Every structure is written in C-alpha cells, then in structure tokens.
Amino acid sequence: MILFDGRIYDSSEQNRLLDELKDKIPSVLQRETLSPGIIIDAVDHLREDLLQGKFDELLESLPKEMVESYKVQAVTLLSKEHLWMKVKTELGTSEEYVTDKIEGFSSIRVKKVPIGVIFHISAGNMDFLPAYSLAEGLLTGNINILKLPSADNGLSLKLIMQFIEYRPELTDYIYVFDTSSSDIQGMRKMAELSNAISVWGSDMAIEAVRNLAPTGVKLIEWGQKLGFCYLSDPDNVEGLDKQLENLAEHIATTKQLLCSSCQVIYLDTDDMDKVRLFAESFKPYLEKAVGANLSTEIGIRARDTLTSYTQRLTGYLGQEEESDDVIRGRGMSLIIKDDNKLELSPMMCNVLIKPLPSKDLTKALYEGRYYLQTAGLICPDARRKELTELLMRAGLVRVTRAGHMSAYFPGEAHDGEYALDRYVRIVNIEEG
Amino acid sequence: MRLRRKLFANKDPYDSTKADLFLAACKENFDYLYGNCEDYRKICKGLKISSSDDIKTAADLPVIPTMMFKRHDFRSGRYFFTMTSSGTSGGHKSVIRFEFSAALAALRMSLKVTRYHGVISFRPCRYIVMGFRPTRKNKVAAARTAYLTTFLAPAISRKFILKETADGLKPDFDGIVEALKKYEKGKAPVRFMGFPSYTFFLFQLLEERGLSFKLPEGSKIMLGGGWKQFYREEADKATFYKLAKKTLGVEEENIIEFFGAVEHPILYCDCKAHHFHVPVYSNIVIRDPDTLEPMAEGNTGLVNLISPLTRATPILSVMTDDLGILHPGSSCPCGVKSPYLEIIGRVAPEDIKTCAAGAADILKGVNV
C-alpha cells in the first residue's frame, strides 16, 4: 500500500505516483517551511489517544508486556515538552543568529533549514521505528519519502495516517511506500528524488543502499552496534553486589537483542582463573534475573529457549566459534573465552566473559570500531573518570552504569550524533 | 538395523510392551548416526554424549530442533528418496532423506496403522484430494502423503482441489462442487483427503451457498497436513464435525485425522475419541519451555518426537516448534494404552526483533 496526498493507493501505482512526486516536490518547496510545532502537536495528540486506549486494538499484535511498557514511555517521550526539548537540544538553542562584524568582511546570518527531501529506509527490527524516523524528518521541516520494512504489519501506516488526521498540513510532507527491498529500480527512483537518505539496518542493508544512492545524496546511516560491560578491580567496587544485580537485570530484560545490550563482560585482567571465578560468581545473579523476567507467555519463552538451544547446537557444528568452557544455568549461560574480540553473543541471556586488561583496551576495541556504542562500566569510583576517558578514546559514544546500558537519557545523542542535526543544512545569508 | 526391522514389524501398532525394543532400536540408530554422520557426531560431542551407553532412556538422545534441518543439510550415508517440508518458515525448507529399508519400514507402519483404524478397503472409491497433484519437481511431503493415501482403497478417480495457475496454486472450489453433485448420485464412496483448513473452508462455502449433499455410504473424510498455516481460522473440532454432517452427510466416526511431520514421518492416526495415541514406532517427550528438561504427563511444553525410522538423516530425536501436552492413555475411552498427544499451539511466531550488529542474520534461520 502507498500513502500519497493523504490517500491510500495500491502498490501497483508506485511508478506513476513517483513520477507525480517529481513534479510535486518543487511546488511544496515553494511554500513556507513546515514548523516543528505542527508535528509536535500531532505526536502529542497521538500520545493522548494512545493513553486513552484508542489504539489498543491496533497494538494487539505486539506482546502485552511490551505494549504496557511502551505506554509508560509514551507519557513522557511523546509529550510536547519533551519534543520541544529534543528540538532545542539537537538543533541548538540559537537556531538563528548573526555573526559579529569583523573588519573587512560582511557579517552573516546563520540559519538551520530543512535539508529538503529525506528518503527514510526503515528497518523492521524495532517497533514504531518507521513512524519515529518519519517524525524526525518532519520535526526538521523536510519532505519525507518513507520505505516501510517488509515485516511491517500495517501498524506504521496507521500511525502515520493519524498524524495527517490530526494535522492535515502534514499531508504534503509524507509519502509512504511499501516497496520491497528487492525492488532496486523503485528504491533508486526514490533515492533520486531525495537530498538525503536515512537508512537503518544491518551492514548488508546499508551496503545495498550505498550501491543504489546517487552521487551527491547525503547518506545518513544508522547501523547496528554491539554493547559490552567493562569490569575493573571488582574487589574495590563499592556496592558491587547491587551493580551486578543491575547488570543481570539489564541482560535478562533486553535478552541481548539491542544495539546497547551487553554481549560481552570484559574483565580488566589477563588472568583466566579470575575470569572463570567471576563467571561462577555472576551465575546466580543472572539466573535470578532470568527467572524474575520470564515472559508470561509460554509461546515466547519456548521460542526463546528453542532459539538459544539451536544457536548452541549450531555452534557445535562449527559454523561459529565455540568455547568448551561454559557455565550453564536455568535459561542462561556464561561462555568463557580467552580472546578479547568484541563479538555478538548467542543472545537470549548467553553472555560471553572475556579478559581485557585496560592496557590493551584501545587495541582490542579498534578491531570493532564500526560497532562501538555503549559500555556499561563497573569500577572503583576513583578510577571511573580515567576508565571512562579511555573508553571514549577507544571509540565508545555512551558510557553508563552497567544496569543502564539500554536506558534512555533525555538529551542523549544517537550513535554519537544528534539525528535532527543530520536532517538540516546550515545556510549563511550576507547581512552587509 | 535389525532392531528397527523388528520394531516396525510389530503386529499391534499400539503395543505397550515394546518399550525396551524401542529404546534398543533407537540406540542402534544412534550408533549408526554417530559413526556415519559427522554433524551428528559434533552435536553429540557438544552435548557430552559419546556413546549409546550414555543413553538410558529415549529422552537422553540428542535432540535436534526441526528448524535446524531448514538451515543445515545433514548428511548420513546413502539414501533412496527424499521428502521436503512445505516450508512455512520464511521459505526455508528441510530435506529429509530415507534409505530403502526405511521406506520399507514406513510402508509396513502405514499399512498396520491404517488397517488398525479401518482405512484400508477393497471397495473402489472416488478421491477428492484437498491438496495438489505431486509432480516430479514437487517433493512437498504433505502432497505426497495425501496422494499416497489415495491407494488405501482402489481409486475410481482422483480430483485435486489445488490447481496450478499462472499465480501459483489456487483452490478450485467450483470444480469440487460440480464433482460432488455427480458423486452424490453414484454408489461409490467418496474419500476426502488433505489439509483440514481447506476442508473446513469447503464446508463453510457449501453452507454459505445453502448446498448440502448426502454422499454414498462408506464415504470418509481423512485429514492431514495440519492446521499450521491457518491457525487463526482453526475451527474447533465440534463445529468441524457438525458441518461435515450438515454439508456432506458424513458422520463423525468417518472423519479420520492423520498427524505427522517431515522430520518425524510416523503416521499418527486419531482414535474413535479423536486422540492421537503414540504408536509403538514412536516416543514423545514433552520438554520444559524454559529448561528443555523432560516433563511429566499433563504438562504443556515443547514437543520432542523420537523414532528410529530412518538413518539417512539424523531425525532420531527432533524438537518441533509445537507446544503440546501428553495425556495418559488410560484417560481415553478407546482402549489404547499408550499416551496421546494434544497440540496446544506453536511457539511465538513473531520474528525476534533485534538491532544488535549481525544478530538478525543469525536469527533469520531460527525464527520460526
């Protein structure tokens, strides 16, 4: 299905509509820039309706527990106040200013304006991501072409139509297509209409987009990352018990599926005995957290257990590296390895435990530089600053408490950048 | 495979005294696989099982999830023919191989089970297959088994409901209605065979159009191939039986359901009380959805199916993505002593969502 001019069209009309869009874009650009207040108002409206249960039927396809947690987050994150704060943080408080006069030169007015047309290639791996990406494009006043992920079940389109229903002024800024990723010609056509492409997804998805992007288009890539926890000198950590409890809770609740999830726990040592000892001591924490966070839906639990078991057997087949040294517990395992590579764990509460002395930290992480994002840090307070800085130099963009690796911090950047800032360009106007 | 021959030659398909023979045949199969299938051996070693001496009960056999057969081709020696699953899991299909003696054992089993349930008849009948005609190119097991059942009684004619069209396979309900009008007037019994869902859709269609038939005496409805693709539309069985009677004039006792999987090609046939009792050739272990430990009868868990039927693919003990309960045989009025399986549903079918680098590619193969 296609959303164009606020109306639904059949996918077969894609070509004709894209031709039409080519003529339409300049006429939209001719008009005054879309103000962020309009989409903020629409999102806030959506939030109210969501909290009043208007979309409960729509959200039935998602696990109940998730829906509840989304609603709790929506209270704050989709509020007008929070969205205005996001705009201010990400675009800067002085969105328009005039430079000081320097003798011999004209002063200029500096202003951030929409980049123009953004082609969003969204991924299906996060609920609401298509609508979220689109909302960011609208907040910055852009015209947005959105390609839905193939796995989208219609939820995104319905939410986006709500935006238009609340604020019809958005109609001309939203074009949604359910093009398949294999429709290279269609995707290329959309790319050719755009000033920037915002792409979310795996290395493979990004690689594919790079190949079809016209030279000159700005590529805004949101790739996938790997998180880890760094544990230094545990004997001198105050409140270690609580911190390990929080780390275990983080692992059990995210099931290691997020960019920020902990895949590896690195110990600041090269002594494998200490690594093993730690793994043994961490087992009860993780086992307890896993037990406390079991889904109430037997189908989900069975699926996760089966996934985990299949991963384990696949490891035995030698398609992936496998360690012999594994501590297993109920619904979890700790896989002890003696290398220090940052890699994906088998997930589902199967955590890698590895040695990484701080003197080798930048060297070890350099290999994984494209995937660095979040490190949860457990260390004595006295060393926190020094180790944080070391992690930053290694390439990390988020250093958090171990239990907060996947937490959201208002005002935070995304993978080292403010999204809204990537969706605007800076213009200079000579003032005289 | 002496013990397998003995097991599959057993006269009573529900003989409850053959547990020792079953375990011995499993060990015989295990020894062969361990010695001849490198991948199987790797899995055994990983699970710390190094010989059949480690196997005290059938539950101790290394369990391979059926989804692994969809992403990995296990090879263990020579084979005679292959079967392919219908590939409901994102296009992945599993290929299961059988050696000649496995095919013979399967044939023996099928004859014994069908004879026990009164499906074998010498009275010629007309078949309506709620599936498609298997071709040389098409190895989907559900189609093959549906086709094979049309030999359980001599066939006067075979009509297939799914027709190959330019847009793929499409049901031809109108053709079936025409056929039913003709068959109703004849004497030969009619036998339906195929997917329950299509059969149910047909009943609904007939009811909507106000059509009802009285098929000749001895007509049967045989169901197989599962409800999997149509879970949402799954009819409760009482409604199904009621509609069968109303639209085709077939009584409940003439509705027979088969259950089987490509990865566990044992013929399960429902008893008079419509329960799937475990036949002598098979064993079922229900496993804890959190730990995969075996559970006692009466609990809901993952369904682990065990049978030493073939050695050309290591499907000795497989874990399906079904959730089920094993009930004690004594709780069924039909007289069969072996426990019976009730399928409750499947593991969560939604894809696991992830944004961890590289995770999606790995999970793609295991998402069910």
- A184 lies in the same domain as A217: yes
In a domain, A230, yes or no: yes
| Inter-chain touch A316–B354, beta carbons under 8 Å | no
Compute the average pLDDT of residues A38-63.
90
DSSP codes, A209-261? HHHHSPTTPEEEEE--BEEEEEE--GGG-TTHHHHHHHHHHHHHHHTT-STTS
In a domain, B268, yes or no: no
Which residue type, as a one-letter code, is found at position A30? Q
Q: Does A253 touch chain B (CB under 8 A)?
A: no
Residue with tokens 């609580």: A242
Residue B294 has what DSSP assignment? Answer: B
**What CATH number does the domain containing A420 carry?**
3.40.605.10
Would you state the pLDDT for residue A357?
A: 98
- A20 lies in the same domain as A118: yes
- Nearest CB to A126 within list B290, B291, B353: B353
Tokens of B143: 């189609």
Is pLDDT at A333 greater than 90 in this prediction? yes
- B245 lies in the same domain as B289: no
Would you state the pLDDT for residue A84?
A: 95
- A213 lies in the same domain as A323: no
Q: Does A150 touch chain B (CB under 8 A)?
A: no
| Inter-chain touch B348–A261, beta carbons under 8 Å | no
Residue A39 has what DSSP assignment? Answer: H
Would you state the pLDDT for residue A35?
A: 94
In a domain, A409, yes or no: no
Task: Pick left, alpha or beta for residue A223 (phi over 0 → left; psi -120 to 50 → alpha; otherwise beta).
Answer: beta
- B233 lies in the same domain as B341: no
In a domain, A410, yes or no: no
Q: Chain A: residue nearest B70 by CA?
A: A310
DSSP codes, B334-357? T---S-EEEEEEES--SPPP--BT
In a domain, A197, yes or no: yes
- A423 lies in the same domain as A400: no
ipTM: 0.85
**Which of A317, A325, A349, A371 would you mutate first to test chain B, the one with the most B CBs within 10 A?**
A317
- A166 lies in the same domain as A19: yes
Helix (H, G, I), strand (E, B) or coil at B332: coil
Domain count, chain B: 2
- A316 lies in the same domain as A424: no
Using an 8 Å Cβ cutoff, are A176 and A160 in contact? Answer: yes
In a domain, B246, yes or no: yes
Would you state the pLDDT for residue B148?
A: 65
Residue B6 belongs to domain spanning: 2-77+282-346
In a domain, A139, yes or no: yes
Restricting to A residues 183-222, those with a Cβ less than 8 Å away from any Cβ of B are 202-204
Residue A242 belongs to domain spanning: 226-404
Q: Does A316 touch chain B (CB under 8 A)?
A: yes
**What CATH number does the domain containing A288 carry?**
3.40.309.10
Q: From chain A, pick out residues whose CB is under 8 angstroms from the CB of B366.
A: 306-307, 310-311
In a domain, B17, yes or no: yes
**What CATH number does the domain containing B187 carry?**
3.40.50
Q: What are the residue ranges of helices labelled H in chain B?
A: 2-8, 19-36, 38-46, 66-71, 100-116, 141-148, 173-185, 196-208, 237-248, 359-364
List, in sequence order, every residue forming a beta bridge with A2; answer none if it has no partner: A9, A177
Pick out chain B residues at pLDDT < 70. Answer: 86-92, 134-151, 167-168, 225-235, 349-351, 361-368
Q: Regarding beta strands A108-114 and A96-98, do their DSSP bridges make them parallel or antiparallel, or are they unpaired?
A: antiparallel
- B211 lies in the same domain as B305: no
| Inter-chain touch B46–A312, beta carbons under 8 Å | yes
Compute the average pLDDT of residues A358-385.
96
Helix (H, G, I), strand (E, B) or coil at A65: helix
In a domain, B314, yes or no: yes
In whole angstroms, give the CA distance from residue A330 to residue A313: 17
Is pLDDT at A126 greater than 80 in this prediction? no
Domain count, chain A: 2
Name the average pLDDT for chain B.
83
The model's pTM = 0.81
- A218 lies in the same domain as A237: no
Compute the average pLDDT of residues A203-214.
92
Is pLDDT at A416 greater than 70 in this prediction? yes
In a domain, A316, yes or no: yes
Would you state the pLDDT for residue B367?
A: 39
Would you state the pLDDT for residue A279?
A: 97
- A206 lies in the same domain as A260: no
Distance from CA of B49 to the nearest CA of A (A): 13
In a domain, B274, yes or no: no
In whole angstroms, give the CA distance from residue A161 to residue B249: 50
Helix (H, G, I), strand (E, B) or coil at B284: strand
Compute the average pLDDT of residues A210-221.
95
- B53 lies in the same domain as B9: yes
Closest CA to A332 of A425, A220, A252, A228: A252
- A61 lies in the same domain as A152: yes
In a domain, B102, yes or no: no
Q: From chain B, pick out residues whose CB is under 8 angstroms from the CB of A317.
A: 39, 42-43, 72
| Inter-chain touch B46–A313, beta carbons under 8 Å | yes
- A92 lies in the same domain as A195: yes
Would you state the pLDDT for residue B365?
A: 46
Q: How confident is the model at residue A319 (pLDDT cuts 50, 70, 90)?
A: low
- A13 lies in the same domain as A96: yes
**Which of B69, B354, B364 would you mutate first to test chain A, the one with the most A CBs within 10 A?**
B354
Q: What angle do CA A347, A351, A356 make, to 5 degrees?
A: 130
- B64 lies in the same domain as B124: no
Binning chain B into helix, strand and coil, the percentages to the nearest 5 are 35, 25, 40
Compute the average pLDDT of residues A147-160.
86
Restricting to A residues 382-421, those with a Cβ less than 8 Å away from any Cβ of B are none
A-B contacts at Cβ under 8 angstroms: 139
Distance from CA of B190 to the nearest CA of A (A): 39
- Long-range contacts: A25-29, Cβ < 8 Å, 24+? A25/A117, A25/A143, A25/A193, A28/A143, A28/A172, A28/A173, A29/A116, A29/A143
Q: From chain A, pick out residues whose CB is under 8 angstroms from the CB of B67.
A: 306, 310
Is pLDDT at A391 greater than 90 in this prediction? yes
In whole angstroms, give the CA distance from residue B185 to residue A377: 81
- A216 lies in the same domain as A200: yes
In a domain, B239, yes or no: yes
In whole angstroms, give the CA distance from residue B355 to residue A124: 10
In a domain, A180, yes or no: yes
Q: Does A108 touch chain B (CB under 8 A)?
A: no
Q: From chain A, pick out residues whose CB is under 8 angstroms from the CB of B351.
A: 124, 151
In a domain, B301, yes or no: yes
Is pLDDT at A321 greater than 70 in this prediction? no
Which residue type, as a one-letter code, is found at position A311? Q
**What CATH number does the domain containing B67 carry?**
2.30.38.10
